[in-house]
Structure formats: C-alpha cells, structure tokens
Structure 1
Amino acid sequence: MRFRDGVFLSLLVGSFSVANGQTSGTDQTLPTVTIRGSTPERFSAGQKTQRIDSVTLEQFRFQNLTDVLTYTTPIAFKIYGTGQLATASFRGTSSNHTAVLWNGININQPTLGQTDFSTLPVAGFDQLAVQYGSSASCVGSDAVGGSILLMSNPKWKQPGFLISAGQKVASFRNYTTQVGAKFVSPAGKNSQIAGKTFFYTTDAHNDYPYRERGNYFVEQSITKQKGFIQDLYIRNRKNQQLSVNIWLTDNDLTVTPFDTTVRERTRSQSYRFLTTYETNKLTLRLGWIRDIIDYARGNFTNPSHSETDRLISRIEREFTIPVKTGRISLRVGGEWSHYRTRVDGYGDQPIQENRADLFALARLELSRWLFSANLRQAFVTRYDPPITPSVGAEYLIIKTAQSSLTAKGSIARSYRVPTLNERYWKVLGNPDIRPENGFNLEAGIAEQWRPNERFSLSTETTVFRNRIDDWSYWNPDYGYRVENLQLVVSRGLEWNGSLNYMTPRWQSGLTLGYALNRSSQERVYNVYAQDIIGKQLVYVPKHTGRFSAYVAHGKNRLTIQNQVNSRQYITFDNIQFLRGYLLTNVLLETEVKLGPVETRIQGQINNLFDTVYLNVKRNAMPGRHFSIQLICNLNTTKQ
C-alpha cells in the first residue's frame, strides 16, 4: 500500500476508535429533530447548489426528472424521443459526467455510466437538489460536470397521516396513476416512527394524430412504467435513527411498435434497497442495487440481456471541534462496493469487480467565512484512479437585516472510472482505456435583498472552467471502438434571479436564468481531427435560458414556464446542427376541500405555440398537447 493510502487508513481507523464515546442521555422525551443535510452540500463550500422547492415538485409530480430539471436549471438534455432515453449534460460535459445520488448512493448504471432520467418520476423522492461542477472528493466517480441529489426525508414535526390518490389524463391516450400514504407518529418518550408507501403507473400510448411535423417524421412509441416506493424511519430519544428505503422501477419502452421489422423494445428494471443507521456523529449504510436491461429489435422473443448487481457498504464518522469564533466539522469514512455483471456483449462469463473509497472532508465555519477542504482516494480492480482533492470558500461581504452579499469560489479535481461497457464489451471495448480526470474552477457571487415582508429579490452569477483529460469516446472513425479522446475544455457563465411579491390576498413571482456553455476539444486524438479543434461539442447548446412567472390568489395559481435553447451541432465539424427553439407551458391549478378531503385540480398546456423542434434522432417532437391532473388528499398532519 502506498504512503498516501496508509495516511487515509490511519486517519479512518483512528477516528472510529473513539466512536463509542457518545453519551447515552437521560431525557424522557425525544430530542429536537436533527437536520441531517446531505454530505455533498455541506462539504462543498464555494460551489453552486440549487434546491428545487416543494411547490415546483408538486407541479411536476406526474412527470419525470427530465421535465422538472429542463424548466428549472440550465442542464442540457439529450432526448431521443417521447418516453425514450434522456441523459443530462452539465456545463458542456457528457452524460457520463453526471452523478445521480439517491439518499447518498450513486445509482448510475455501471454498464452505461449514466442514468436514463425518463425512468425517474418526480414522485419517487421528497427533495431534489442540483450541485454544479465537480464534487468527486465528496461523491466519487462520475461527478465531473455535476450531481443530482434525490432525497427521502420524513417530516418529524408534523405527526399524522396523509393518504393521496392522483390521476393524470393527457393527450395522445397517455395516463398516469399514483396512490400512496405517509405517516408520522406522535413523538413519544422513547421513539417515533415515520413511513411512506407509494405506487405509480404510467401507460403512454403516444397515439399522435399525425406522422410528421414541419416535414420531419414523428416517431411513435409506447411506454409502460410502474414503480413502488417504501420508506420506513425509526428514531429514539438518543437521536439515533434507523431507516429502510426501497425503490423498485420497471420501464417498458417500444419504439415504432407497429413495424415488426424495425421496432425496438427496451425494458429497464431497477431494484434499489438501502438501510441506514445514523447518530449525531456516525452513519452506517448498507445497500443493494440490481439493474436489468433487455433489448430486442424486430423479433422480441430472444432479447439481449444485461444484469448487474451492486453490494454497497459505507461508514462515516463526524467530529465537531469548537474554535474561537466558529467550529470545525471533520467527516472521515470509507466505502466498499462489489459489482457482479452478466452482459451478452461481454461473453459467457460474469464480470466481477471491487471498488473502495477512503475520504476525509473538512468544513470550517466562522462568522463571515465558510471553508471546505476534502480529499478522496478511490481503489478499483485493475485501475489506479487519481487522488481527488478540493478546496472551497465563501465570504459574507454584506449582512444586514434586509440584504446579504456572498462571494464564493472553489477548485476541485475529478475523475471517472471507465464504464463496464467501455472495458469489457467484445471487440469494441478497450481494457486498457485510461480513467478520465478533470480539473474544475468556479467563482461566483450571490445576493439577496428583502426590504420588507412583501418583496424579495435574489440573484447569483457563476463563472466556471472545467478541463477534462483522457475524455473517452466511441469513435466512428474506428468502427465505434472506444478510445480516449484526449483533452476537452468547458467554460462558461451562469446567471439566475428570482423576484417575489406578496400581499395578504395575492402572491406573484418571476424566475429567470441564462447559461453560456463553450465546450470544445483542445487536443486531437489523431492527425485527421485537426479541423475539429476549438469546435463546440455535439449536442451541447452554447446558450440556454429559462423564464417562469406565476400569480396566485387564494387556492388558485397560474404559472407560465419557458425554456430557450440555441442550436445544437450534430457533427464535430459544426456544419450540421439542430435549430434552436423556444418552448412554453401554461399551468392553471386550484384546490377545493370536500369534508376532510383536499382536492387539487391542475390543467396544463404543453408547447403552447406548437413549436417544431427535433430530438437527438432528428425526429420531430409532439406539438401542442394538454393534460389534466386530479389529486385527492386525506390529510391529518399538523402543519
């Protein structure tokens, strides 16, 4: 073992040797609820983080993660069609550079190194946060461009139960049904219990009344999606918490279903189980994830099959050290995962692999300063990932009762372990492909102003530069064999602002955002690629914007959502491209109460102006379409 690894291990073992020094406590009632923020957010000072509010999540509860992030963030998505594959591009990076964390566990598929966001419904989690830039020191592999944080959290301070049933009816014979229940027991002397049970199904026929729009083909597809969520939490008077989280998903997609020659069927199933034990200082996690993909073209009787199992264990210990004008938080830990996969394209024998991480995360809070310094070392079978440090800082320039101004900045190294497909796929794979490694810089300034109780204004501006070396690429010049593309540099600017005005009877607000992404290859991988140096990467729009506005009166609310994308190049020489477009959605919702049942009715118009725009396959997406949603809640929780 190398010296740097020994330092990590010594630090880890030493930290847990004192874990038993916790006091038992003698209180006869449950303590105040401890707010357990996610590790990537707490220990990433200087990085831009965006939380999606609960009102927005409720508006998108019948849609998938692609829809809500498209209208609330500058993330660019590669969409292959309605209900089809949708992958994310953070700040000009690729779909393999986005980490998706579910309750702290990376759920990217190891074979593909990415997540299909069309298979993740918004109803599958309670909280959603977006972390921009590299956070590999906190998260690990994949967090090169950014991270999506999906969290399940009980509301301990709101005892009672909530029974919910919802139905969505949309154009083109598309239907979604959701049924669930949540409960939180009253806080007793010794323990408190909370839980959630949730079922959802989607039956999308996409029965379009047209076969082309604007001289572009409209591809038909059928999607059947179903899922089950079970969360259970128990906490005691010592503030120890045990939780069990289960998320099962089944997505069955058929493209061009009525043409038996070229039709394609992809069935993706995921089984996710996670058990977590937490105290004020110690966190233990044990998880198991199985991902299954069956793919067939033409004849569906003998699909290509892939099945991957992951066993995940993690231990973390946190220390708090008071200092003169603040405190230091130190979190050290380790993670071990075992992978076992069987893929038709790999050969007859299953592939097994072990991965481990050791990390140390530090956070210093002072009256006006916030610092973080992190270090992670990964270990992978037959690989040697680089050590990944990061440092960040935030300084509160102005702090008054009405306003605040904060400057922030961070420097971070990142890495990505090649996917199993990139290493083990017969003929096209490359067992000698090198891990990607990156270097991320960002700086920003955030301002908040609230002169009175009715008016509030907030803005944030961020500039960034992300240098990624050994970018891997399935090169069409070599029969789509995978190789290291060499060097890609992404740089740009992000700005977002929000304005809210409230009176006793009316509420209104505006949200605006703009992003500039300049992402290009800066070093060639062969002598024939000189003409693509400095050209914008494919499917990365240089300019994106979003604008939303709402006005509410009592239980009634009108919302307008807009997104704008500039052209996207589809060839590396930037000669061919998809045209830019503007999309507008309108939502009108109201709420009525019939006895103990609260009923929310929402009508929605998507693509209001019937814009013709194309997906990655260069097929037209649907025109103007409509939906109506009905949600009935029987709620006894204390607000």
Structure 2
Amino acid sequence: MIRIVFFFLLLCYYSVANAQKSTDSIQKLDEVVLSDVKLKHYNEGYKLTVLSDSILRKNGNSLTDVLRFNSNIYFKENGYGMVSSASFRGTNASQTAVIWNGININSQLNGQVDFNTISTANYNSISIRSGGGSVQYGSGAIGGSVHLSNDSDFTKHINHRLQLGYGSYETENASYNLSFGNNKWSGSAGVSYVNTENDYRIIGTDEKNENGAFNNLDLNLNLGYILSQKDVLKVYHQNFRSDRAFSSTLLAPSNSKYETEDYRSMLEWAHVSENFTSSLKAVHLLEQFKYFENKDLNNYSKGQAKTWLIKHSYKRNVSKNMALSVITDYSYITAEGNSYIDPKRNAFSATAILNHQFSTKFKYNLNVRKDVISDFKSPLVFAGDLSYKVAEAYVLKFNASKNFRVPTFNDLYWNPGGNLDLEPEESFQFDLGHQLEILKSLQLKLNTFYIETSDLIQWRPNTETNYWNPVNIANAKHYGLEVELGYTKQINAHHFNLVTAYSYTETEDVEKNQPLYYVPLHKGNTALSYNFKSFTAYYQHLFTGEVDVIGGSLDGYDVGNIGCSYELNTAGKLNYILDLKINNIYNTYYENVALRPMPNRNFNIKLTLKF
C-alpha cells in the first residue's frame, strides 16, 4: 500500500510540474464549471437524461418524488417519507450509484442510498445515466447512476430565491437559495427544510398513517475562485439531517424512530491548458445514524462511517480528435457502532479512458479500471461505448461493460453474522440505443438492455448459528427495453410540452427460476404541460404494473397529479410565483412495499420569490 500511495503522489507531482511549465494560451475553464467532467465527456454511447429546473420545481423536495414521476427507476418506499430504495433496470438498491459532484456517495455501511435523505432544492441539475458505470464511478454502478451537480457560474450576477410552502398533513416546507459570481468568484448557498405530521388517511378505512412524522434539514455551500487564467479552486459542502419516525404497517404498530446525519465536503483544484486538464480532489464523507426502538426512551443503537478520499484526474489531448485520461484515487474508510469492532479499509483504484472522435459521425470510448482493496480482492473491470450518426436526425448508440459491487461493512463485519469470505458481485451488461430528433420538436429514445450478475450477496438464515449471514449465492438476469418521448409545440404565445417514458423489464433469479421481487414488468410515466405567458398548468401520471413480493404480489396502480402556477411581476426585479399542486387526484390506494399504503389525495401550495 505504501508503494501505491507513493506512485499516486508521484503522478500528482508530475501533473503539477507540467501545469507550471505550460505556456499555452488563455483558456475559458469551461471543463471545470461542471465538477463531474466524466459525465460531460465520456457518455457518447449511454442514455443520459437531464432533469430541468422546471421539472424539479413541480415535484416535492425529495429525490424520490422527482425521480418517481420523471424516470424509469422504480422506488420501494416504506410509507411516504420513510426509507426509499431504487430499482434501476431491475437491479437492487445497492446496485444503483448516486454521484455527488463526481464522487460516489453510496453508504459504506449498507451500500445503498436512501433517496428520501437527498433534497433536490440545492442542486443545479440532476442527471440519470442508464447502464453500467463501475469503471468511472466505482462500486454499485450496475443498473445505472444518478448524478447531483453544483455548477460554478463565473458571470457577474447575484440571485436570491425564497420558497415557502404548506400542504396536507400539516406539512411545512421552506427553502432559500443564493447564487452570486463575478470574473473571479462564484458561489451558491442553500437551505431546505420540511416538517410534517404525515398522518395521511389510509384509503378504504377510518385509520391514519401512524408514527409517520418526520423533519429534514439540508444545508449546502459551494464556492469557486479563479486563481489564474488556467487554475480554479472550488469548495463543496453539504449537510443533511433527518429525524424520522418509522411508520406502522397494516399489521404491526410502531413507536420507533431513526435519526441520520450526513456530511460531505470536497476541495478541488483544477488546471486547464490547451493540451491537458488536471483535477485534484480531497474529500471527506461522514454518515451516521441512531435507531430508537422506542422513541420515548433514550436507548438507541448507533453506527457511523468516515471516508477520506484523494482523487486525481489527468486528461491529455493526444491529438486533435483523441484524448487519454488517467484517474487515480486513494481512500481510507473507518466505521464504528454497536455492531462493529472498528473495521477499516484502504482502497486504491486506477482508471484509464481513451476518447476518440474517429470522424464527425463516429465517436467511441474505451475504459479499464483496477481496484486494490485491503480486505478482499476486486475484479478488473472494463467498458466500451460508441455513438454513430447514421443520419442527421438519427444516432445509434451502444455500450458494454463489466461492473462490480464490493461487500459493505455490514456484509463483512456485522456482529453477529458478518462474512469475511464474501466475493464482490460481478456484472456484465450491454445496451443498444436509438436516438431520433425531428425538427427539434420531437425526440425519441429507444434502448434495449441485458444485464447478467453473478455472486449476488444475500442475507439468509443460518440454522447452525441462528443468525442471518450474507452469502454469495444468487445469480440474476435482467433484460428489457426503455422508451422516452419528448414533444414540444408552440402556437403563438401558447407552449405545449409532452414527456413520456415507458420501461419493460424482465428479471430472473437463476437459482430459483423465478422473477426477482419488487420489479414491475411494466412502468410508465407521462408529464403534459401548457404555458401561456405567466400561467402554467401541468398533469403528471404514473403507471406501475404488478410486482412479485414474498408470498404473493402487489397490484399495479395509476396515480395522477395536477398542478398550476402563475408568475406575477415578470418584468420587475422581484418576481412572485404561486404554485398549487394536488397529488393523487384519483384518490388511488396503492402500495409499493407490502403492507405500507401510500398517501390519499393531498395538496401543496408554494410561494416562490425571486430577486
């Protein structure tokens, strides 16, 4: 490990030395405005969906609310606002990576991200990358990845946004965002808060959702400073705190609660010259929780994990149409809690990416990555993708990759039950995509995919010890298709916009010869909006087909939302936007986790001030 660290430091020194010697012409630093440069430059063969600011505003503050109605991802939510996990192309929650400004933030404890612990109010953009991405983003990027970005804007500006809201179940939410910049500085700050009793009525009964109250607080601060014509320094910090009771099920009462706190901090120095780009990141991540079986008592179990990460990216333009990137990172991870005996992990990875624009019509990328991890062996992974412009309106895309997911601290060290003999999950996948654009008003994306995963880690009861143990036992197959359609039409001052998505997903547990649990065969969503001057109206619809669960199945369901907004004083410096939204307008009873019903018809009203 000492030799690995020495090699890494030597590589950093070499890059810095080259940066100091460079006499290239003045650059615009355009590549470092986006922190996740890989998302911008190495996705020719992947389907990438970027959610606009208007989409984020029409949905709730949680990432679950946004993605449920605007992506092909299926969510399992243990009651509204409770733990929410993603199923991307039929994979499980730990096989979907969440990337914060280029850094994988999946939990070191359980490998997952609870999508209800991520507020969308403090991000410039949210992107969805379909397909395997372990080469670029590490463990867990098997089904796909979700990217949260805070972009730097060095134009002269200062903008404020204040949002106040109230809704059903005594729901209160507020957020404030500040963005400023000039030719030297760029900065943004945000705070988002939601508090709710969450005691919605269970449709068809006289009962209410019991023990479902929660409050969330999200803080975000980002700064950028241009050191020179070629160098920029950026700081990112994000803190999320949540205090959630755990809702009762239809069969069992609950008086428990769960407190979580996440800190993410990153310092980035980027250098851009004519022939190469260098980026050095220093990152600290902290995740911690307290679980109270009885929220009225001060007895709880706890756990936490800390990650220190150094990451260096170096991109060299080999020729006018070819670039080679080398990415190295070193991380040191520790954990502690009631069920751990101070586990530690050292991890080093090296990645090489070749980007080649063969012609104006044909582009491709070749990727390879190797991880060296202290507590188990990891596989060599690779990926390749390409895009070919068959015609002016038609682009053909293809990608294939080998991906992996490492055993987490829970899998290896949970006491009692951890298994130190686990192997990483491995996956092979390919994706064929078609992208059609007609007169810039109609966009169609059609993707077919196949994923085969081996050595899936599952927790199973052990009759000898009477404990549950994780074992490498299951193999799985996933295949299907995804369709996305976007259409815009303008008639004088009237604007119409339609976005619809559909996914068909087949899965198989090879060992049991049966479909995987909690994967709908059919899922679709549609959003239709109409805008006339200062007035906007929209409708959202979500269809989810039947899903298999242990001991049976959950019925499919249709849920519709309707909303409208009106912007006042559009010509002045101070703008008011009034939003009204009614969720579940058909008052549909539905569950996306067995015995945990979701809310009945409800409303939310928001006032947004921009100045």
Cα distance change of structure 1 residues 496 and 172 upon mapping to structure 2, 3 Å threshold: same
Kept in 1, the 8 Å contact 2:202–2:599? The answer is no
Kept in 1, the 8 Å contact 2:489–2:496? The answer is yes
TM-superposed deviation, 1:239? 2.9
**Aligned counterparts of 1:217 and 1:569: Cα–Cα separation in 2:** 26
**Aligned counterparts of 1:482 and 1:104: Cα–Cα separation in 2:** 30
Query: Equivalent residue for 1:267?
Result: 259
Post-superposition CA distance 1:7-66 (Å, at most 9, x none): x98996897486336534686xx8474454631452233121111122212323x42101
Q: Choose which of 133, 149, 152 in structure 1 pairs with 2:150.
A: 152
Query: Equivalent residue for 2:363?
Result: 370
Q: What's the TM-score once normalised by structure 2's chain length?
A: 0.92
Query: Equivalent residue for 1:541?
Result: 520
Kept in 1, the 8 Å contact 2:78–2:247? The answer is no
**Aligned counterparts of 2:170 and 2:19: Cα–Cα separation in 1:** 59
Query: Equivalent residue for 2:129?
Result: 131
2:490 is matched by which residue type in structure 1? M
Query: Equivalent residue for 1:59?
Result: 58
Kept in 2, the 8 Å contact 1:15–1:317? The answer is no
TM-superposed deviation, 1:568? 1.1
TM-superposed deviation, 1:242? 0.7
Query: Equivalent residue for 1:297?
Result: 293
2:138 is matched by which residue type in structure 1? G
Query: 1:392 aligned to 2:358?
Result: no
Query: Equivalent residue for 1:353?
Result: 345
Q: Choose which of 462, 471, 474 in structure 1 pairs with 2:447.
A: 462
Query: Equivalent residue for 2:542?
Result: 563
Q: Choose which of 435, 438, 455 in structure 1 pairs with 2:424.
A: 435
SS of 1:353's equivalent in the other structure is strand
Cα distance change of structure 1 residues 437 and 32 upon mapping to structure 2, 3 Å threshold: closer
Q: What's the TM-score once normalised by structure 1's chain length?
A: 0.88
**Aligned counterparts of 2:354 and 2:256: Cα–Cα separation in 1:** 49
Cα distance change of structure 1 residues 417 and 491 upon mapping to structure 2, 3 Å threshold: same
Query: Equivalent residue for 1:493?
Result: 481
Please show how residues 313-324 of structure 1 align to structure 2 within 5 Å. 313-323=310-320
Query: Equivalent residue for 2:331?
Result: 337
Query: Equivalent residue for 1:596?
Result: 573
Kept in 1, the 8 Å contact 2:75–2:592? The answer is no
Cα distance change of structure 1 residues 217 and 521 upon mapping to structure 2, 3 Å threshold: farther
Query: 1:284 aligned to 2:280?
Result: yes
TM-superposed deviation, 1:261? 8.1
SS of 1:270's equivalent in the other structure is strand
Q: Percent identity?
A: 21
Query: Equivalent residue for 2:98?
Result: 100
**Aligned counterparts of 1:26 and 1:46: Cα–Cα separation in 2:** 32
2:457 is matched by which residue type in structure 1? S
Query: Equivalent residue for 1:412?
Result: 401
Query: Equivalent residue for 1:632?
Result: 609
Kept in 1, the 8 Å contact 2:211–2:255? The answer is no
**Aligned counterparts of 1:613 and 1:557: Cα–Cα separation in 2:** 29
TM-superposed deviation, 1:476? 4.7
SS of 2:54's equivalent in the other structure is helix
Q: Which runs of 5+ in 1 are unaligned?
A: 525-531, 635-639
Cα distance change of structure 1 residues 448 and 519 upon mapping to structure 2, 3 Å threshold: same
Query: 1:179 aligned to 2:171?
Result: no
**Aligned counterparts of 2:25 and 2:446: Cα–Cα separation in 1:** 48
TM-superposed deviation, 1:562? 0.7
Query: 1:246 aligned to 2:237?
Result: yes
Coordinate RMSD, CA, aligned? 2.5
Query: Equivalent residue for 2:469?
Result: 481
SS of 1:69's equivalent in the other structure is helix
Kept in 2, the 8 Å contact 1:241–1:278? The answer is yes
Kept in 2, the 8 Å contact 1:517–1:541? The answer is yes
1:246 is matched by which residue type in structure 2? H
Kept in 1, the 8 Å contact 2:72–2:503? The answer is yes
Query: Equivalent residue for 1:529?
Result: none
Please show how residues 1-80 of structure 1 align to structure 2 within 5 Å. 16=15, 19-20=18-19, 23-24=22-23, 31=28, 33-34=30-31, 36=34, 38-60=37-59, 62-80=60-78
SS of 1:93's equivalent in the other structure is coil
1:585 is matched by which residue type in structure 2? N
Post-superposition CA distance 1:561-615 (Å, at most 9, x none): 11110011112xxx50110001111110111128531111100000010000014
Kept in 2, the 8 Å contact 1:81–1:219? The answer is no
Kept in 2, the 8 Å contact 1:43–1:362? The answer is no
Query: 1:225 aligned to 2:216?
Result: yes
Kept in 2, the 8 Å contact 1:465–1:490? The answer is yes
2:460 is matched by which residue type in structure 1? N
Cα distance change of structure 1 residues 465 and 473 upon mapping to structure 2, 3 Å threshold: same
**Aligned counterparts of 2:68 and 2:25: Cα–Cα separation in 1:** 50
SS of 2:121's equivalent in the other structure is helix
2:129 is matched by which residue type in structure 1? Q
TM-superposed deviation, 1:269? 0.1
1:363 is matched by which residue type in structure 2? N
**Aligned counterparts of 1:441 and 1:256: Cα–Cα separation in 2:** 39
**Aligned counterparts of 1:442 and 1:33: Cα–Cα separation in 2:** 30
Cα distance change of structure 1 residues 33 and 93 upon mapping to structure 2, 3 Å threshold: closer
**Aligned counterparts of 2:175 and 2:16: Cα–Cα separation in 1:** 47
TM-superposed deviation, 1:240? 1.4
**Aligned counterparts of 2:287 and 2:9: Cα–Cα separation in 1:** 35
2:544 is matched by which residue type in structure 1? N
1:151 is matched by which residue type in structure 2? S
**Aligned counterparts of 1:503 and 1:19: Cα–Cα separation in 2:** 55
Q: Which runs of 5+ in 2 are unaligned?
A: none
